[in-house]
């Protein structure tokens, strides 16, 4: 209230001075009382003009953009301008804080793996993140304030939106038809508003995994049920019929085959489970590749029994970081497949080849019947068979290539498959340079690796 005290003092002082001047002039020219009144009135008028000038400065500031400081005027107008400016700055700070909070909130939603769309009470798009834009083929800027039913025209989506029953999510394919979406809606709003929140989630991988799980369970059930059915039939036959010694031996031999088939299946399933649940092999345990390749070659010769032309990898002094049993299993699996599926007289080659800084490959190449292109992407799926009956006749479980893929991936590499019907197939295990070294030498991921790789390219088979 200091402005009020100063204003009263100025009014009293101004009136007094004006009255005194009026009295002084009146002493010479007019009657003293009249002159005093005129002087006091002039003083009050001048003070009013001064107040009006200060008020004008404040009004001009209020009419502007309010970005600068308020005019520094005294009195009541100074107090008023100070309080108005402080209130304005407080509101600006509050607005900026809320703007930043909103921006952070939208950034968080933008980073969400879920699609988010905000609709007004007319089902017009108020905002959407890029994930939702990708799910529904929207443009976050261009499609703002557009009715969503004009842009997303799936009948199931429109019916779901208009039904108002959002207890269960909606399963939907996106506009490109390549992704499975799960859509959920919620109503929200205040003061009678009926706004909607749309959430979308890409469940393609989940659906694929669920489909693979169902196929896996069905395949395992079928693979186990078949030999069990055969065994049950043989047991019933032996129990109900009087078999000759030769017939009994034949039945027992067939039962043994089915038992071995089940043992192989269970063994491969356990191997897969172990591979999937184990950490990546350490990079400081080194395997000598030459004895390993020699062992695989010997087993292939025994399995082929002279029916194929086998060309084995040349000797190498290289070592691979990993688990010997796993790598041996992967290479032996590829070689046994080649022997089983390559016709008699065919050629099978086991190659070892360095690829410079890219690492190295172990390849099994044959000139067998080959595999059609449409089958190649699915060869490593569990229980996938190009020719199911032929695979079972050769003793395969349908899990071999899946095991090979897991082994090479655990060792930092990849399995590449090339095949053409009538020309043969090539299965290549690609290993990175960081897991290779010469015997008694640093790993090829070290500084000496390029020189070591360059110096051993002549080992290619």
pLDDT digits (tens, 9 = 90+) for 134-165: 888 899 889 999 999 999 888 999 999 988 88
CA–CA separation, 59 vs 78, rounded Å? 12
pTM (predicted TM-score): 0.57
| Mean pLDDT of the 185-197 span | 82
The confidence score (pLDDT) of residue 393 equals: 54
Residue 405 — pLDDT band, cuts 50, 70, 90?
very high
Residue 45 — pLDDT band, cuts 50, 70, 90?
low
The confidence score (pLDDT) of residue 118 equals: 92
Domains belonging to the chain, first-starting first, are 2-93 (no CATH), 112-202 (3.30.450.20), 207-277 (1.10.287.130), 286-459 (3.30.565.10)
The confidence score (pLDDT) of residue 25 equals: 52
- The most confident of the ranges 236-250, 256-270, 411-425, 440-454 is 411-425
Residue 98 — pLDDT band, cuts 50, 70, 90?
confident
CA–CA separation, 43 vs 52, rounded Å? 14
Please provide residue 309's backbone torsions phi and psi, each rounded to the nearest 5 degrees: -90, 110
The confidence score (pLDDT) of residue 414 equals: 92
pLDDT tops 90 at residue 383: no
pLDDT digits (tens, 9 = 90+) for 7-25: 555 555 555 555 555 555 5
| Mean pLDDT of the 331-342 span | 90
pLDDT tops 50 at residue 457: no
Q: Which long-range contacts (CB under 8 A, 24 or more apart) does 257-260 make?
A: 258/227, 258/230, 258/231, 258/234, 259/227, 259/231
| Mean pLDDT of the 94-114 span | 86
């Amino acid at each position: 209230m200091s402005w009020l005290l100063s204003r009263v003092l100025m009014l009293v002082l101004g009136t007094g001075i004006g009255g005194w001047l009026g009295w002084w002039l009146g002493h010479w020219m007019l009657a003293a009382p009249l002159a005093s009144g005129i002087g006091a009135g002039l003083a009050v008028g001048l003070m009013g003009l001064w107040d009006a000038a200060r008020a004008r400065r404040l009004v001009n500031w209020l009419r502007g953009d309010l970005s600068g400081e308020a005019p520094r005027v005294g009195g009541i107008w100074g107090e008023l301008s100070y309080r108005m400016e402080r209130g304005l700055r407080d509101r600006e700070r509050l607005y900026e804080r809320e703007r930043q909070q909103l921006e952070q909130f939208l950034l968080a939603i933008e980073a969400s793996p879920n699609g988010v769309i905000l609709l007004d009470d007319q089902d017009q798009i108020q905002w959407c993140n890029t994930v939702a834009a990708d799910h529904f083929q929207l443009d976050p800027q261009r499609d703002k304030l557009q009715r969503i039913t004009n842009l997303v025209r799936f009948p199931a989506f429109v019916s779901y939106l208009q039904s108002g029953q959002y207890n269960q999510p909606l399963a939907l394919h996106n506009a490109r038809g390549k992704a499975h979406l799960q859509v959920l809606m919620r109503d929200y709003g205040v003061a009678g508003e009926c706004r909607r929140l749309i959430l979308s989630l890409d469940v393609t991988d989940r659906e694929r995994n669920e489909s693979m799980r169902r196929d896996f369970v069905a395949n395992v059930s079928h693979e186990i049920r078949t030999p069990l059915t055969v065994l049950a039939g043989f047991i019933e036959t032996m129990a109900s019929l009087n078999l000759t010694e030769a017939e009994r031996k034949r039945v027992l031999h067939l039962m043994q085959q089915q038992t071995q088939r089940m043992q192989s299946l269970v063994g491969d399933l356990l191997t897969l489970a172990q591979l999937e649940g184990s950490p990546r092999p350490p990079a400081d345990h080194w395997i000598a590749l030459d004895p390993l390749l020699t062992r695989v070659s010997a087993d292939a010769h025994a399995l082929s029994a002279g029916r194929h032309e086998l060309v084995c990898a040349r000797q190498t002094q290289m070592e691979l970081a990993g688990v010997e049993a796993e790598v041996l299993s992967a290479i032996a699996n590829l070689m046994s497949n080649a022997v089983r599926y390559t016709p008699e007289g065919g050629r099978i080659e086991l190659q070892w080849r360095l690829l410079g800084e890219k690492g190295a490959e172990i390849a099994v190449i044959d000139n067998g019947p080959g595999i059609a292109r449409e089958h190649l992407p699915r060869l490593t799926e569990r229980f996938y068979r190009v020719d199911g009956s032929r695979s079972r006749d050769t003793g395969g479980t349908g899990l071999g290539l899946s095991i090979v893929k897991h082994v090479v991936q655990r060792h930092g590499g990849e399995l590449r498959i090339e095949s053409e019907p009538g020309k043969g197939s090539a299965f290549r295990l690609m290993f990175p340079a960081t897991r290779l070294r010469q015997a008694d030498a640093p790993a090829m991921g070290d500084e000496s690796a390029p020189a070591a790789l360059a110096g051993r390219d002549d080992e290619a088979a």
